A = this chain, B = another copy of it.
């Protein structure tokens, strides 16, 4: 294991101080708080510095760049998800365990839109991201699959989770923000617009217009995840054909 924090201040003590004093933990904590409140665009070095009660340049003592700051914040949150979801991996059915893990990951991405957005960037050897990959993969080791099938399956599942999460993380259209409507109202208006399309040219949009008005994002996610897992169960039961 590599040391995750090369630098660390002797714990912040804000009492009777002339100059501000931080630590990697407080920097990361405030960064996450900003991300939670205002999303990615809100995470500015100047905003973070103001919040920490210091200057902009101080942050560079703890972090090499904005990208590294986001990377560390993402890893931090991934660590928490990893810890919280540990109990979900002991059920008898491996695919049910995978499902629980995927849902836990997705839940966090719904709570923190920026999290899903930046899981993508951590393609590297980040300890916690790798651990999640490992954890899902280990469940699949109990299924009758070739290593290649297992690798493909884990990659696909993670991509699906992240993909849907990122999709949801997109900022709502300006139209919505400016309208001041409730989300359900806006969706209803959206559905009406679908219904207004030519039924001959857009039969499908016409048919599912009602669904978009009442849909729940988590339902949609779970539905696709179950399709993926059903396909995987089929593959595992069919011997080792590729």
Given the interface pairs A124-B173, A141-B204, A205-B133, the reply to whether A227 lies near B223 with Cβ below 8 Å is no
Residues of B within 8 A of A230 (CB): 230-231, 234-235
Contact with B along A146-158 (1 / 0, CB 8 A): 0111111111110
Work out how many copies of this chain go into the complex: 2
Residues of B within 8 A of A208 (CB): 137, 147-148, 150-151, 154
Residues of B within 8 A of A211 (CB): 147-148, 151
Q: Are B220 and A231 in contact (CB under 8 A)?
A: no
Given the interface pairs A173-B124, A230-B235, the reply to whether A207 lies near B147 with Cβ below 8 Å is yes
Say yes or no for A19: interface residue by CB 8 A criterion.
Answer: no
Say yes or no for A179: interface residue by CB 8 A criterion.
Answer: no
Tell me which residues from 121 to 141 in chain A have a Cβ below 8 Å from any Cβ of chain B: 121, 123-125, 130, 133-134, 137-138, 140-141
8 closest A-B pairs (Cβ-Cβ)?
Answer: A163-B163, A156-B224, A137-B204, A227-B231, A230-B231, A152-B223, A231-B231, A151-B211
